[in-house]
Amino acid sequence: MDREELGKLSLPLIRVRARKVLFREGERLDFVYAVYSGTFKSCLSTADGREQVTDFQMSGDLLGLGGLSHGWHTSSAVALEDAQVHPIPYAALSKLDTAGESDVAQALVRLMSQEIVREQGLLLLLGTMHAEEKLAVFLLNLSACMKARGYSGLEFNLRMSRAEIGSYLGMTLETVSRTFSGFQQERLLEVDKRHIRILDLPRLASRVKSA
């Protein structure tokens, strides 16, 4: 069993009282935790106070995996009742990765951790945002993505249909279309089918209330 493999690393067992925060989003990641008893919730929060619970963990589950790529916690963990956890030192894990002759395993762990974080962002979007905010986030991400690849971040062609955007953002294609039109009305964008030009990036960004 996986749990037992990891269990060998972690001798200590610490108690966590109900309602206590085991770690908080943004803190340095010194340990990953394996739940031994009790129940936790993992959650993300936005700047304006909305909260998205991303998981409930029970015995055998691991806490904090999202942070392995960069060494910072990407979510908070709170005990829902008195609980016990095994702390697993981050150092031990990174050492074990680096010790092996393969940097590949290490790279893989990092990439998978990034994927977890990315999906968490999408959970927050799907769970807490409205149509306008969702589409704004989508466009800003895409803009950053294009820019990072050397293209203009302000003018580009979408590769996906309205239906695909809608599926991604948890809304119908009609609502995607309407929201595009709304943004255009407000002079935030120019939209022509799949061609997008962002006219006012700061104001578009201000539509996003989250962190």
Partner DNA sequence: CGGAAGATTGAGCGTAGTCAAACCGAGTGG
Partner DNA sequence: CCACTCGGTTTGACTACGCTCAATCTTCCG
Question: Rule CB under 7 A: which residues touch DNA?
Answer: 130-132, 158, 161-163, 170-178, 180-181, 191-194
Report the residue number, 102 or 161, with the smaller CB distance to DNA.
161
Query: Comparing C-alpha atoms, which of 36, 35, 39 is closest to residue 19?
Result: 39
CA angle 66/150/196 to nearest 5° reads 90
CA 149 to chain CA mean position, Å: 21
Segment interacting with a copy of itself, rule: CB under 8 A, options 19-27, 60-68, 178-186, 197-205: 60-68
- CA gap 16, 24 in Å, rounded: 14
**Which one of a copy of itself, DNA, none is in contact with 154 (Cβ closer than 5 to 8 A by kind)?**
none
Nearest-approach distance from CB 178 to DNA, in angstroms: 5
Q: Which of residues 163-182 bind a copy of itself (CB under 8 A)?
A: 164, 167-170
Query: Comparing C-alpha atoms, which of 116, 128, 144 is closest to residue 48?
Result: 128
DSSP 66: G
Nearest-approach distance from CB 146 to a copy of itself, in angstroms: 9
- Under a CB-based contact definition with an 8 Å cutoff, are residues 160 and 116 in contact? no
Nearest-approach distance from CB 41 to DNA, in angstroms: 12
Query: Comparing C-alpha atoms, which of 60, 62, 56 is closest to residue 81?
Result: 56
- CA gap 184, 176 in Å, rounded: 12
- Under a CB-based contact definition with an 8 Å cutoff, are residues 44 and 51 in contact? yes
DSSP 186: T
123 binds a copy of itself (CB under 8 A): yes
Nearest-approach distance from CB 186 to a copy of itself, in angstroms: 25
- Owner of token pair 């700061």: 202
Report the residue number, 57 or 175, with the smaller CB distance to DNA.
175
140 binds a copy of itself (CB under 8 A): no
Segment interacting with a copy of itself, rule: CB under 8 A, options 22-30, 96-104, 184-192, 197-205: 96-104
Residue from 101, 185, 192, 193 touching a copy of itself (CB under 8 A): that is 101
C-alpha distance from residue 153 to each of 70, 120, 139 (Å): 26, 24, 10
Residues that bind a copy of itself (CB under 8 A): 2, 5-6, 9, 39, 41, 43, 51-56, 58-60, 62, 65-66, 68, 80-81, 93, 96-97, 99-113, 115-116, 118-120, 122-123, 126-128, 145, 149, 159-160, 164, 167-170
